[in-house]
């Protein structure tokens, strides 16, 4: 397992640091959410989703929703599914590129996925969106860029896992635009990072 000097202090951390810390943080946020009445370990209070989820209220100044919506999940299955694929894609990306890349792409892909979701308004659709799927598709998008031209076996494996993830998260309430924008932003961000590092 690779290790990285995260802060430049000469103290190495394991290559799973970012992925595991994000997963734990999402779990803690969920636990806080289910403590709000009505209490249920299986379902997040709708009051939490309504206040912190992503919706058209972003256009009225509630900018915080761009971030908070990435961190909350509707129910325990939603949370655990996202954490599972966060670990699958995040660990591989972190092993290849380190923890800061995982943090950065997770956040930026979630943000761009949310901003892209405003396209729903052009179709006259009022919506409430939440969850880390856009961010996780961003991690997968970054992996697509990194793994291009490399092991065909690993490419097929990651493609299969992404299709499986999409099939688990798809539904009549799925924010597909967030998934697509997250995927593309992860790919483009990774491409931009590589270009910037060229001499």
Q: Taking the domains of the chain in order of start, what are their residue ranges?
A: 3-197
Q: Which pLDDT belongs to residue 110? A: 95
124 torsion bin: left (phi>0), alpha (psi -120 to 50), beta (else): left
Q: Token pair for residue 7?
A: 């802060």
Q: Which pLDDT belongs to residue 125? A: 73
Q: Which residues contact 40 (CB under 8 A, 6 or more apart)?
A: 34
Q: Which pLDDT belongs to residue 171? A: 57
Chain centroid to Cα 80, Å, comes to 13
Q: Which pLDDT belongs to residue 12? A: 63
CB 114 within 8 A of CB 70: yes
Name the one residue in this structure whose structure tokens are 């995982």. 102
Calculate the alpha carbon distances from 139 to 9, 12, 60, 78 in Å: 27, 23, 30, 18
Chain centroid to Cα 44, Å, comes to 19
pTM: 0.84
User: What parts of the chain have a pLDDT lower than 70?
Assistant: 1-13, 37-39, 149, 151-152, 168-173, 194-199
Q: Tens digits of per-residue pLDDT, 84-112? A: 989 989 999 999 888 999 999 999 999 99
Q: Which pLDDT belongs to residue 47? A: 84
| Whether domain 3-197 has CATH 3.30.70.1230 | no
Q: Which pLDDT belongs to residue 45? A: 81
């Amino acid at each position: 397992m690779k290790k990285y000097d995260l802060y430049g202090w000469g103290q190495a951390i394991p290559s799973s640091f970012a992925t595991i810390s994000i997963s734990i943080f999402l779990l803690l946020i969920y636990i806080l959410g289910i403590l709000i009445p009505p209490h249920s370990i299986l379902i997040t209070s709708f009051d939490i989703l309504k206040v912190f989820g992503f919706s058209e209220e972003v256009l009225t100044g509630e900018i915080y929703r761009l971030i908070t919506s990435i961190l909350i999940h509707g129910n325990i299955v939603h949370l655990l599914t996202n954490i599972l694929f966060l670990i699958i894609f995040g660990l591989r990306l972190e092993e290849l590129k380190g923890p800061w890349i995982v943090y950065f792409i997770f956040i930026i892909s979630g943000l761009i996925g949310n901003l892209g979701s405003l396209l729903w308004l052009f179709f006259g659709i009022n919506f409430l969106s939440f969850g880390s799927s856009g961010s996780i598709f961003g991690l997968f998008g970054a992996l697509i860029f990194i793994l291009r031209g490399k092991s065909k076996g690993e490419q097929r494996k990651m493609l299969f896992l992404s299709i499986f993830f999409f099939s688990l998260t798809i539904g009549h309430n799925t924010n597909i635009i967030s998934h697509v924008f997250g995927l593309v932003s992860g790919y483009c961000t990774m491409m931009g990072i590589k270009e910037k590092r060229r001499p």
